[in-house]
Amino acid sequence: MVTPPCVQWLLWATLASAEEAYLRDCHRLMESQLRESHIQPACHQKVAGIYCSRLLEVERPRPLAGNCPLDPLRMASPNHAVEGDVPPTAGMQHRNLQEIAFGVLVLAAYEAQLGLVQRLLTSLWRRTHTFLVHVDLKSEQLERKLRDWSASDPKLANVHVERAVGVRRSGASLLAAELYGLKRLLSLSKTWHYFMTLSDSDQMVRPADYLQRVLGLHWGRSFINTEVRCST
């Protein structure tokens, strides 16, 4: 069956309109998050543009041109995350969302970021995850407040707070803190599948379930951080 050209044009025009609305909403959300981050204001628009465009490719892939047979098991999977039909991929494995556990290292240095760290941990928290907040040696007050906060809620028993390495940003000490955190997370629990490094200014722009869903679709693969630098 061949779709008439006028209908094809209407379908793509509708798709383009939906994508524009999606990008506007994404940019608006990103701007509110970036205002609370350490990223320079001059870079906000560029960072939001790159992030939202990439997110659009993942969440809303364009319809396939051909007639690809669909795998019923894949379609029934709770990890089927995208809108539209995606053909099965060789070697793709599914995992239940609740089985995808993270080992999360949060590098914290500034007492002023206490609220952001608490919000980040609350947004990402799941019973199956293991969290380690590494506080800079210079921030004794921040360590105490985070310990008191985690101890106040029995649910946060999987949130650990330690102060071990004096960190200088962008120096070798930052790598030392990350390696220390990875080693400690391995000693705290061996049930997590993915290691994640975050800073005290990072925030979630998608629900934690979305992240688990993406990892479920790409089980066994590693993801590398992308850093955008703007020249002013």
Q: What is the DSSP string of 173-231?
A: HHHHHHHHHHHHHHHH-S---EEEEEETT---SS-HHHHHHHHHHTTT-----------
Cα–Cα distance for residue pair 153/127, rounded to 1 Å: 13
pLDDT, position 201: 84
The closest of 49, 60, 61 to 24, measured between CA atoms, is 49
Query: Which pLDDT does position 88 carry in this prediction?
Result: 44
Q: Give the residue-averaged pLDDT of 134-144.
A: 92
Please enumerate in sequence order all residues whose Cβ is within 8 A of that of 213, keeping only pairs 6 or more positions apart, or say none.
79, 81, 97
- 25's tokens: 């909403």
Residues 211-230 pLDDT 10s: 877 777 777 777 766 555 65
CATH of 99-201, one of 3.40.640.10, 3.90.550.10, 3.20.20.140, 3.40.50.1580: 3.90.550.10
Looking at residue 208, its pLDDT comes to 79
Cβ(95)–Cβ(128) under 8 Å?
no
pTM: 0.59
Q: Which two tokens stand for residue 190?
A: 């061996």
pLDDT tens column, 72-129? 555 455 444 443 344 444 444 556 666 788 999 999 998 888 999 999 999 999 999 9
Identify the bridge partners of residue 105 per DSSP, sorted by sequence position: 132, 197
CB proximity list for 100: less than 8 A, separation 6 or greater: 128, 193, 194, 212, 215, 216
Angle, nearest 10°, between helix axes 140-151 and 114-124?
Answer: 40
**Domain-wise residue ranges, the chain:** 5-64, 99-201
